Chain A
């Protein structure tokens, strides 16, 4: 009975697959993604190129708001009417794999393709794509973070691109010299403010995944949390809240880096293209995050866009053909162009060295910092496994408590670890999956 109603709801709520087909006679591959606004035409332009290159398949893209994508997909899976391919950037890979919602690419790839994938893909891409030894997603854009410096602001305190801070402690001090307050002592510009344990833990040698288990309350993660806590304390939570709430926009011509709200930002690779689009003459430079004392150099957390093939997909082979095309696996030149269009980092060195991607790097030299980061051994990943979403939410709460000063860093992480253990116990009692290795 329940399934019948869910199927009915799915039939009503799920976007119609009767999107206009441009190539009658070809096999249709339905593809849901969450790119909207300025990104949608760029991303779907790549779909057009795929369709033009084909004689067999036609990929029909459907853009769905990112906050509704997962729910719509779950409804469609319950009703057995899923898309053939799905792009999602929420931390769902572990959970959806454990629930059998998506199928491993291993089942679809030829042995040669799999061999090639394992041999040539950058290790951090593979780590993000695989669950329990199976390739559960192709990564279509792996986000990295690096430090963006406003050179005109640095000049105010006598620094330039050749004299950037060498440690994270120094970075904090430089940041404070760049803070600006108005006559009423309202903060009007922040020099540098590190926030988010997930983004910064790698710099302190912290990890959230170890030997197939999720780890949280480790000395390295505690040290990272302590560092972030001290950095926030210098401003005070109320001051930070007021400042961030006054910012005009996160993207577009008024994004914080362009508007000068921050002098130094730890931000993602997509900003390079945005700056080029809205303020090409902005004086700035990008550099890797300097290591803290006794920390690790060339660090960044990594956040993937997952291309996943649902278990109920009717055209998994067509979906795989398209996944290869857009990620550039087996098609390095196309991949180089696609990665460049979206402002992303290639998944393997063949794409990185393709003519199209080299042309992109020549046009946006700042981007090279991110490409170089790809091979760093010190990269971090979000917690993996069936509980990844829960753990991410808990870590965000811990961040908030520490930033507000309502919990000490070690207390906050201990609370997360305690909650995660309780959640595992609860799920175990209910017979729900918590990961093959018990994580």
Chain B
């Protein structure tokens, strides 16, 4: 009599699932709705389009793997733009992590006006990227820019930062530190999650400040570092706005980032199928790198279990 009907278990499981995840889903619902309405369709369509010659106006024309084979075998700009982007990622992501953690550590100390400092360091990260780029174009101006003005006080004639092939990419890399405030806030939250009794125990055991940092703070901050590392890698492969506004890929292609080249192919030469293939190749690359990072986390990320 009391044996449950097999169909009864599904609604109850669903109810249980909704009860467990409902609040979370509700919180991310604006993103979910946006994703379902605007992203998921183009996301899957672009797979199909990457196997077509498509100019936005005419119906797509199937070309098989021609876009991919041209990219991999006959397009030197594809490789050079990928190389520039990888170089940017290799330097800017670790630099952002070091700067973010460093700032968070400083802003985690108990000093007067701490909240003001936190706000000041956070503010640049919410300034629109285009505004940042315009301001930095002036700051890095070789003749009337702030950076070279300061260098001149010390008798140093600074380079033409954005017009010199040797410096342009580095200028953009160093500029990326300016927007480190966003990750800094996450590190700060991570730091405040570290139980105080661990520091107390370490101090009682005679650990110096450096030892506490190495043995307590950094290991317990690794989940946050891991998160920012993954986001940083993804973000650097999408790097576009600053290069588009400040250098347009120049001088001599030294800042021709992958996303910039993709944009040029898509919107300036109306080569949408080719651009879709580029997008999918970089997606695969980013997924592979993220996969490797996820694999490596077992060795260095401490979840405090």
Q: Which residues of A contact B (CB under 8 A)?
A: 1-2, 4-6, 8, 70-71, 74, 77-78, 95, 99-101, 186, 238, 241-243, 245-246, 389-390, 393, 397, 400-401, 404, 406, 422, 426, 429-432
Determine whether the beta carbon of A422 is less than 8 Å from that of B74. Answer: yes
Determine whether the beta carbon of B270 is less than 8 Å from that of A99. Answer: yes
Determine whether the beta carbon of B61 is less than 8 Å from that of A431. Answer: yes
Determine whether the beta carbon of A1 is less than 8 Å from that of B267. Answer: no
Determine whether the beta carbon of B53 is less than 8 Å from that of A432. Answer: yes
Determine whether the beta carbon of B268 is less than 8 Å from that of A429. Answer: no
Stretch among B16-24, B99-107, B139-147, B170-178 lining the A interface:
B139-147
**Closest Cβ–Cβ distance, residue A249 to chain B (whole Å):** 12
Determine whether the beta carbon of A397 is less than 8 Å from that of B74. Answer: no
Among all A-B residue pairs, the 6 with the closest Cβ atoms: A246-B143, A2-B45, A430-B53, A241-B163, A241-B160, A1-B45
Give me 29 A-to-B residue pairs in the complex whose CB atoms sit less than 8 angstroms apart, sorted by A's number.
Answer: A1-B45, A2-B46, A2-B48, A2-B49, A5-B41, A5-B42, A5-B45, A70-B268, A78-B56, A95-B270, A99-B58, A101-B57, A238-B160, A241-B142, A241-B160, A245-B163, A246-B141, A246-B144, A389-B269, A393-B268, A397-B253, A400-B252, A401-B252, A426-B70, A426-B75, A429-B70, A430-B53, A430-B63, A430-B66
Check: B183 CB closer than 8 A to any chain A CB: no
Rounded to whole angstroms, the CA-CA distance of A426 and B67 in the bound complex is 9
Rounded to whole angstroms, the CA-CA distance of A401 and B274 in the bound complex is 27
Contact with A along B58-78 (1 / 0, CB 8 A): 101101001100100011000
B-side contacts of A406, CB under 8 Å: 165, 252
Rounded to whole angstroms, the CA-CA distance of A38 and B43 in the bound complex is 42
Determine whether the beta carbon of B57 is less than 8 Å from that of A78. Answer: yes
Extra 10 A-B pairs, beta carbons < 8 Å, given A95-B269, A245-B144: A70-B268, A95-B270, A101-B57, A238-B160, A238-B164, A241-B142, A245-B142, A393-B268, A430-B70, A432-B271
Check: B96 CB closer than 8 A to any chain A CB: no
In the complex, which of the residues A6, A246, A401, A432 contacts B56, with contact meaning CB atoms closer than 8 Å? A6
A-side contacts of B44, CB under 8 Å: 1
Rounded to whole angstroms, the CA-CA distance of A6 and B42 in the bound complex is 9
Rounded to whole angstroms, the CA-CA distance of A8 and B45 in the bound complex is 14
Rounded to whole angstroms, the CA-CA distance of A336 and B305 in the bound complex is 82
B-side contacts of A431, CB under 8 Å: 53, 61, 63
**Closest Cβ–Cβ distance, residue B146 to chain A (whole Å):** 13
Listed residue (A95, A238, A400, A430) with the most chain B CB atoms within 10 angstroms of its CB: A430
Rounded to whole angstroms, the CA-CA distance of A382 and B269 in the bound complex is 17
Q: Which residues of B contact A (CB under 8 A)?
A: 38, 41-42, 44-46, 48-49, 53, 55-58, 60-61, 63, 66-67, 70, 74-75, 141-144, 160, 163-165, 250-253, 264, 267-271, 273-274
Rounded to whole angstroms, the CA-CA distance of A74 and B266 in the bound complex is 11
Rounded to whole angstroms, the CA-CA distance of A397 and B70 in the bound complex is 22
Determine whether the beta carbon of B163 is less than 8 Å from that of A430. Answer: no
Nearest B residue to A187 via CB reads B143
Rounded to whole angstroms, the CA-CA distance of A336 and B273 in the bound complex is 46
Rounded to whole angstroms, the CA-CA distance of A4 and B37 in the bound complex is 11
Rounded to whole angstroms, the CA-CA distance of A88 and B251 in the bound complex is 27
Determine whether the beta carbon of B55 is less than 8 Å from that of A99. Answer: yes
Nearest B residue to A74 via CB reads B56
Listed residue (A238, A404, A432) with the most chain B CB atoms within 10 angstroms of its CB: A432
Nearest A residue to B62 via CB reads A431
B-side contacts of A101, CB under 8 Å: 57
A-side contacts of B66, CB under 8 Å: 429-430
Listed residue (B56, B60, B67, B273) with the most chain A CB atoms within 10 angstroms of its CB: B56
**Closest Cβ–Cβ distance, residue B51 to chain A (whole Å):** 11
Nearest B residue to A407 via CB reads B252
B-side contacts of A241, CB under 8 Å: 142, 160, 163-164
B-side contacts of A78, CB under 8 Å: 56-57
Q: State whether A430 and B273 are in contact (beta carbons under 8 Å apart), knowing that A5-B38, A241-B142, A242-B142 are contacts in the complex.
A: yes
Determine whether the beta carbon of B41 is less than 8 Å from that of A1. Answer: yes
Rounded to whole angstroms, the CA-CA distance of A429 and B70 in the bound complex is 9
Determine whether the beta carbon of A242 is less than 8 Å from that of B267. Answer: no
B-side contacts of A2, CB under 8 Å: 41-42, 45-46, 48-49, 60
